[in-house]
Structure 1
Amino acid sequence: MRKNLEDFKRLGGGSAETTEAVVDGSSDAGPSTLSLGESARDPAAPLQSGRISCLPPIYRGRCRGVDKFEKIAKLDEGTYGVVYKARERDTGDIVALKQIKMNHAGSEGFPPTALRELNILLSLKHPHVINTREMVVGDTLDKIFMVMDFMEHDVKQLMAAMRSPFTEAEVKRLMLDLTSALAYCHDRWVFHRDLKTSNLLMNNRGEVAICDFGLARYYHEPLKTYSPTVVTLWYRAPEVLLADGGRGEKTTYGPAVDVWSLGCIFAELVLRAPLLNGQGEIDQVKRIFELLGTPDEETWPGCTALHFLRKYPQRRQPFNRLRDKFKRATFTSATALSEAGLDLMLKMLTLDPNQRLSASEALKHPYFREEPPPKPHHLMPTFPSTHRSDARR
């Protein structure tokens, strides 16, 4: 109990405006101390610790009780939390409640992954980053919930349930919104490190949002070393795969890993199937090279020194075959992609991270300005909820 109490001392108030926390630093965590709501670019941002302001009612804290919400259904469960669909009793608002699993608590009594996610999410306010409204607590200090906006779908399940693919204008809308959100995060020195279609949510107003920031970190320049066990394999950037080579050692990488993942998502939105679905790290690298060509010192300076390529020499494949995956724009092709769209995808899937397009640069790409324009949100299609629990109801 004392450890939990000390964690709450660091957490501060319950809402995005009042919640503050101190996060013990590591090479993955970024700064040695971070406060919830603190700007990564502003080291002078106020850092207040020692306030006991996020406690259950018996401690006269600021966090509301979870009894203010009525659970409707369990939506999902992962390693670090359980997500429920819930209704706020006073307003009738439908929200998502994410209960933090305390069995992964660190030496300080609070799960470090959850603390980092809270720290980052409460500092980000963008229409296409999942909105975390506040924290609420149960009758004991091990019952802690994040209150988030409810989104009817995750994009992976939605695409599996759709009878027809997204149109070119709809793909363009989704990509524009996601690229905007990613540029916003990177501008604030946050990289996600686990972008994939199941971590993208969509509501019935045609709005998409990036969620699950459990692996997100603040980064710095020059870039530091981070764990290579990030990003689901099919969306993992080559600089992470090749530098580690299965050793599990920390690797230097930065926000370009998110752009690679977004390029894979771009392809998946068009194809309705993963672009690079390897069966292991070696197979994943093989598929990347078969599709995009084998790098050399001319196309990726320094690549021959990477551990994977020294351990597993690759057959030379000099051709980029990405176009073969996508037919040129026609009125009948479900997998059509314009030349501008292909150019954007190629620049997002550039093997050398130093030459890969940044998210901010991608926003300016001609693809988003050519015909057809991105479909307005109010004209985006709507679908029955794809959450498993809702589908059963």
Structure 2
Amino acid sequence: MSVDILPLKSESKNKDRDENGAEPSHPITKKGILTSFKTGKPMTIPETDILGKCRFVSEFEKLNRIGEGTYGIVYRARDTISNQIVALKKVRMDQERDGIPISSLREIQVLLNCKHENIVHLKEVVVGKSLESIFLAMEYCEQDLASLLDNMQAPFSESQVKCIMLQVLRGLRYLHHNFVVHRDLKVSNLLMTDKGCVKIADFGLARWFGLPLKPMTPHVVTLWYRAPELLLQAPTQTTSVDMWAAGCILGELLGHKPLLPGRSEIQQLELIVDLLGTPSDAIWPGFSGLPALQNYSLKQQPYNNLKQKFPWLSAAGLRLLNFLFMYDPRKRATAEECLQSSYFKEPPLPCDPKLMPTFPQHRNIKGGSKAGPSDNTGAGDQTNNLPAISDLLGSIVKKRRVE
């Protein structure tokens, strides 16, 4: 069946008019219908197949715009029913002609199946008046680490860095134990509540994985956090790509600036080699056979310069960084192994999350994009939404929860 959703026609023209004989302001749409590929005739969605409805975005009051990423615009909004503040992420549909983008479906599926304090919580999916108006209502976090790093007068202390990394690693352990690889871990995708709780967000590139591993596109993970196997176009990816990104985040927090800020894939490889030395088949079996190396060769640099980069870091801290930056993905640290590192058990000890510095007012600025995008499908949409959209998307969401 196709997924063309149409308003259900009324049985007679008289029922299409109000008591004064006027046409209704919107079509009568009590049920949605599907169109059969075989006959081209409309088919009613059986009541037994509708497991629930998505709420309408008109039930949310948009307060201000707090961010925009590759996969959607994010607003701070108030749920007028519960009076809770939420983050409302509008699914980007600008270039879509075949329905909801696969990245958004993956994000919805992954988040509906994740329940962990260090993973952002998806509360529900809400809809507007057209198929292009789909929003993810998520728990609201007062700040993201990227903005904090840009706006803090004093950088995080080592005790605070340990507190952040422990929470990131716990979130990654949960994801990886549940066969999810994030594939876009970076400081701007780490949120923090006003209680100091760090949450991994933005799952648009996340994927489930299994054994045996299947090929995935290598063009994932923001360049500064991209693992060498991705840069060298290895055909398969594992959770190790997230662990490399975690190492980059740890280095960035410790050094108070991005660790490997390359401007191109070639320069990114050069920065990695400058920091860690040139890899070889001896330390990374199969290295010389990676596809990208057929086009160019890496410069020879025999030294590991992590100690020179972080001369004040303890031996345990350097061991952890080296473990996260192992060239061979099979030897790279797992989240579980990192959590057992002695680095987190030596002074200065990780601080209590409740003692983390917070700046809740940073994302609560009024007036920023209050009116929303120009397509008029923002949180101000009126209640003439198509129930068919709500029914169908609600069925997908509720069914996923049941499974």
SS class of match (1:308): helix
Take 1:302 and 1:391, find their aligned partners in 2: how far apart are those partners? 54
Counterpart position of 1:90: 81
**What is the distance in 1 between the residues matched to 2:295 and 2:133?**
47
Which of 301, 314, 326 pairs up with 1:350?
326
Flag the 1:226–1:84 CA change in 2: closer, same or farther, 3 A: same
Aligned partner of residue 124 in structure 1, secondary structure: coil
Superposed CA deviations along residues 159-189 of structure 1, whole A, max 9, x for unmatched, are 0101111111110010000000001000000
Q: Corresponding residue for 2:90?
A: 99
Is residue 158 of structure 1 aligned with residue 148 of structure 2?
A: yes
Aligned pairs for 1:35-54 within 5 A: 51-53=49-51
Deviation (angstroms), 1:294: 0.4
Report the counterpart of residue 161 of structure 2 in structure 1.
Answer: 171
Q: Secondary structure at the match of 1:252?
A: coil
- Alignment coverage as a number of residue pairs: 328
Give the Å deviation of 1:267.
0.5
Q: How does 1:116-135 map to 2 (within 5 A)?
A: 116-135=106-125
Mapped to 2, the partners of 1:106 and 1:162 lie a distance apart of 42
| Cα gap change, 1:354 to 1:139, in 2 (>3 Å) | same
Q: Which has the higher contact order (CA 8 A, sep 6+)?
A: 2
Match of 2:292 in 1: 308
> Which structure 2 residues correspond to residues 340-379 of structure 1 after superposition, within 5 A?
340-379=316-355
1:253 aligns with 237
Q: Distance in 2 between matches of 1:50 and 1:289?
A: 59
Aligned to 2:197: 207
- What root-mean-square deviation, in Å, do the aligned CA atoms of Structure 1 and Structure 2 show? 2.1
SS at structure 2 position matched to 1:118 = helix
Runs of 4+ in 1 over 6 A off after TM superposition: none
The residue that corresponds to 1:224 in the other structure is: 214
What secondary structure is seen at the aligned counterpart in 1 of 2:270?
helix
Mark the structure with the bigger radius of gyration: 2
Structure 2: any 5+ residue segments left out of the alignment?
Answer: 7-46, 371-403
Preserved contact between residue 104 and residue 111 of structure 1 (Cα < 8 Å): no
- Alpha-carbon displacement from aligned partner over 1:276-307 (angstroms, at most 9, x marks no partner): 11111111111101110101121111111112
User: In the alignment, is residue 292 of structure 1 matched against residue 283 of structure 2?
Assistant: no
Aligned to 1:76: 67
Instruction: Report deviation, 1:105.
Output: 3.3
Q: Which residue identity is paired with 1:170?
A: Q
Q: For residues 142 and 174 of structure 1, what CA distance do their matches in structure 2 show?
A: 36
Indicate the larger mover: 216-225 or 181-190.
Answer: 216-225
**TM-score, normalising length: structure 1:** 0.79
Structure 2 letter corresponding to 1:345: L
**Residue 114 of structure 1 contacts residue 214 of structure 1 at CA under 8 Å; is this kept in 2?**
yes
CA distance in structure 2 between the aligned counterparts of 1:5 and 1:262, rounded to whole angstroms? 43
- Work out the CA distance in 2 between the residues paired with 1:323 and 1:370: 18
After superposition, the Cα gap between the structure-2 partners of 1:66 and 1:283, relative to the gap in structure 1 and judged at 3 Å, is same
1:309–1:384 CA distance, 2 compared to 1 (3 A):
same
Counterpart for residue 277 of structure 1:
261
Structure 1 unaligned spans of 5+:
7-48, 54-60, 245-250, 329-336
Structure 2 counterpart of 1:3 = 3
1:322 lines up with 2:306 in the alignment: yes
The residue aligned with 2:132 is 142
Cα distance per residue 1:102-149 (max 9 Å; x no partner): 334363x22111111100011001111111111122233432211101
- Residue identity opposite 2:288 in structure 1: T
In the alignment, the residues of structure 2 paired with residue 128 and residue 276 of structure 1 have an alpha-carbon distance, to the nearest angstrom, of: 25
> How far apart, CA to CA, are the structure 2 residues paired with 1:317 and 1:390?
51
